[in-house]
Amino acid sequence: MNEEPHVVVVESPHRDTASARRAAADFLTQHCPWADLDAVLLVVSELVANAVRHTSGWWRLHLTAGRESLVVEIDDSSPQPPVARDPDFGGGGGFGWHMVLRLASRVEIRPLPEGKRVQAVWDRPAAQV
């Protein structure tokens, strides 16, 4: 039986990091209860915050829940990929990208005509498919 994936889109002109997190939490509760809510919300927060901090234009968050996976994508106006930095325990950051890479099953970065897409994927545990 093929199910259509469930999708939600959050766009920057109308939303901030907190509203992106709320939208993600509502989406996961409704369409993807098997996913680790805390891990996904940390990744959403980090990706949106990075888009706000490191780009001068728009961003768009896409959440897609299929039968076997959850996909979190953020498109933004910067063509520059995220860069892992050494963590600065004095308050200078450098923790977020490492966290994204550890929490998701896999992460990909793809160029777009006007920016880039960062995609984080969580695979549904085999016992729950």
Residues 102-126, mean pLDDT to the nearest whole number: 95
Better-scored residue on pLDDT, 35 or 14 = 35
Does residue 22 lie within any of the structural domains? yes
Does residue 116 lie within any of the structural domains? no
Structural domains counted in the chain: 1
Tally of CB atoms within 10 A around 28: 23
Does residue 9 lie within any of the structural domains? yes
Does residue 109 lie within any of the structural domains? no
Give the model confidence (pLDDT) of 17-74 as tens digits. Answer: 888 899 999 999 999 999 999 999 999 999 998 888 888 878 899 999 998 999 999 9
Does residue 118 lie within any of the structural domains? no
Does residue 5 lie within any of the structural domains? yes
Does residue 33 lie within any of the structural domains? yes
Q: What is the pTM of this model?
A: 0.85
Confidence label for 1 from pLDDT (cuts 50, 70 and 90): very low
Q: How far apart are CA 51 and CA 45, in angstroms?
A: 10
Does residue 103 lie within any of the structural domains? no
Domain span holding position 33: 1-69
Give the pLDDT confidence score for residue 71 in this predicted structure. Answer: 96
